[in-house]
Amino acid sequence: MADPNPPQIPRVVAVPRVVAVPKVLAVPKVAAAPKVVAVPASPAEPAAPEIAPADPIAVVETLAEESIHALPHVDEYLRIAQESGASDIHLGVNAPPIWRRNGILNPVWIQADNLTAENTETLAMGFLNDEQKHILADRGDIDFAYATAFGRFRASVVRQRLGIDVVFRIISTNLRSMDDLGLPASLKLLTQYHNGLVLVTGSVGSGKSTTLAALVDEVNRSRHDHIITLEDPIEYVIPSKGCHVTQREVHTHTRSFGAALRGALREDPDVIMVGEMRDLETIGLAITASETGHLVLGTLHTGSAARTLDRVLDVFPIDQREQIRVMVSESLRGIISQQLIPRKDGLGRVLAMEILTNTPAVGNLIREAKTYMLPGVMQTGKKQGMKLMDDSLMELYDAGLISQEETYVRAEQKALMRQHFAH
């Protein structure tokens, strides 16, 4: 039976809603709560939340004040983001801490204060070493791999109009195999070549690095070769298994991708992984390496196989393109274009993939500069493991994994997709 004269209980501060945090402590009911949060005596001076510095994830669970102030070190934000399944976290001037989860940007906490220029500069200076601070002061931006006791991250620090912004990409330290990722078994054939060019393409954040690392891991497991990876920065740490693996980071171990590729050709490599083929020099050297007895794996920021080939060819001067078309038609082994699409149920993202493998018909279209006809060849090349992006989208839609809106927005042939919906 309830006490007829219960003790006076202080008024409880309402807990502001936390955005997209997988685990938030519920507010105890007042009648059963052994602990309650008292309203501060002065509304102008709210009580600061008690945060255990050794356990940053506790910030998400215990912050229940009207506003949340800047945390003292980037590691605390990184631990929270990592534990919550975020892919990126943004710490920018005049904005609250923001993270990207399932491809969508949202504030980490709605009630968080905007970070000031002083806040972000303190955070940046707190984890940069002296050499990195010098580069930031001289160049205005710096990108590098940042490692802590609990994970690895790709860091980007830039100076902008309002001050310093810091962005981190959370890198999964668990190197997953092709089977773990659910990649088609036909793609393993691409790792069995001893020369040629394999390209993994897609927009930023589409999982290119993860797929590329899985391809390298497959080579590492099944062969006895020398693998050299050239990255900016190193994301996945790949231990040597069957192969001897050498990993080099641009701007740390070498000044550019081009310089690293030239050096790699003198290091007795069998497989070369190029993190990003971003300019004429790098693309030209990669094609040359693929023709001289090396398997080259690289990435480009293109959305389809046809656009990938156009990008590779168009980077060269007009008087060289015919020769390059012939070289690519012979050295190309395959192109994997991919997207990560939010699931319909909101529980993460799923992979949609376009696959082109080189056949005599594909090589002929490349030589004749008729890449616009590649979708037709891919449509009839399913027995060779080829797949169009639209077919992959339809499969995901029919399986109930992605919404009709996402399917339609990402489709190349929208009229055909509308017909598919009608059935």
Asked whether residue 98 falls in the same domain as residue 113, the answer is yes
Domain boundary among 142, 171, 200: 171
Residue 44 lies in a domain: no
Question: Count of CB atoms within 10 A of residue 211's CB?
Answer: 24
Asked whether residue 234 falls in the same domain as residue 356, the answer is yes
Residue 46 lies in a domain: no
Identity of the amino acid at 148:
T
Asked whether residue 289 falls in the same domain as residue 333, the answer is yes
Output the pTM of the full model: 0.78
Structure tokens at 42: 């002065």
Asked whether residue 201 falls in the same domain as residue 143, the answer is no
Domain count, the chain: 2
Name every residue whose Cβ is closer than 8 Å to that of residue 76 and which is 6 or more positions away in sequence. 53, 56, 59
Question: What is the distance between the alpha carbons of residues 269 and 288, in angstroms, rounded to a whole number?
Answer: 14
Asked whether residue 143 falls in the same domain as residue 125, the answer is yes
Residue 261 lies in a domain: yes
Total residue length of the chain: 423
Q: Find where tokens 């005049």 sit.
A: 94
- Domain with 82, as residue range(s), is 69-171
Question: Count of CB atoms within 10 A of residue 190's CB?
Answer: 23
pLDDT at 65: 47
Per-residue CA distances from 93 to 48, 65, 74, 140 (Å): 22, 22, 14, 16
Residue 379 lies in a domain: yes
Domain boundary among 146, 171, 196: 171
219 burial via Cβ count (<10 Å: 0-12, 13-18, 19+): buried
Asked whether residue 366 falls in the same domain as residue 403, the answer is yes
pLDDT at 173: 76
Asked whether residue 166 falls in the same domain as residue 183, the answer is no
Asked whether residue 184 falls in the same domain as residue 319, the answer is yes
Identity of the amino acid at 281:
E
Residue 213 lies in a domain: yes
Asked whether residue 92 falls in the same domain as residue 159, the answer is yes
**Do the beta carbons of residue 351 and residue 184 sit within 8 Å?**
no
**Do the beta carbons of residue 142 and residue 135 sit within 8 Å?**
yes
Question: What is the distance between the alpha carbons of residues 146 and 235, in angstroms, rounded to a whole number?
Answer: 9
Question: What is the distance between the alpha carbons of residues 288 and 261, in angstroms, rounded to a whole number?
Answer: 10
pLDDT at 5: 52
Domain boundary among 150, 171, 192: 171
CATH code at position 124: 3.30.450.90
CATH code at position 305: 3.40.50.300
Question: What is the distance between the alpha carbons of residues 339 and 206, in angstroms, rounded to a whole number?
Answer: 5
Residue 27 lies in a domain: no
Residue 61 lies in a domain: no
Asked whether residue 314 falls in the same domain as residue 283, the answer is yes
**Do the beta carbons of residue 200 and residue 299 sit within 8 Å?**
yes
Per-residue CA distances from 179 to 185, 218, 401 (Å): 8, 10, 20
Question: What is the distance between the alpha carbons of residues 58 and 68, in angstroms, rounded to a whole number?
Answer: 13
Asked whether residue 121 falls in the same domain as residue 185, the answer is no
pLDDT tens track, the chain, 423 positions: 444 454 444 444 444 444 444 443 333 333 333 333 333 333 333 333 333 343 444 444 444 445 677 899 999 999 999 999 899 999 999 999 999 998 889 999 988 999 999 999 999 999 999 999 999 999 999 988 899 999 989 999 999 999 999 999 998 778 899 999 999 999 999 999 999 999 999 998 899 999 999 999 999 999 999 999 999 888 888 999 999 999 999 988 998 999 999 999 999 999 999 998 989 999 999 999 999 999 999 999 999 999 999 999 999 999 999 999 999 999 999 999 999 999 999 888 999 999 999 999 999 999 999 999 999 999 999 989 999 999 999 999 999 999 999 999 999 999 999 999 998
Helices (runs of H) and strands (runs of E) counted in the chain: 15, 13
What are the φ and ψ backbone dihedral angles of 172, each rounded to 5 degrees?
-70, 125
Question: What is the distance between the alpha carbons of residues 93 and 83, in angstroms, rounded to a whole number?
Answer: 24
Residue 305 lies in a domain: yes
Buried residues in 292-316 as b, exposed as e (16+ CB within 10 A) = eebbbbbbbbbbbbbbbbbbbbebb
Structure tokens at 34: 């052994």
Question: What is the distance between the alpha carbons of residues 96 and 109, in angstroms, rounded to a whole number?
Answer: 8
Asked whether residue 282 falls in the same domain as residue 301, the answer is yes
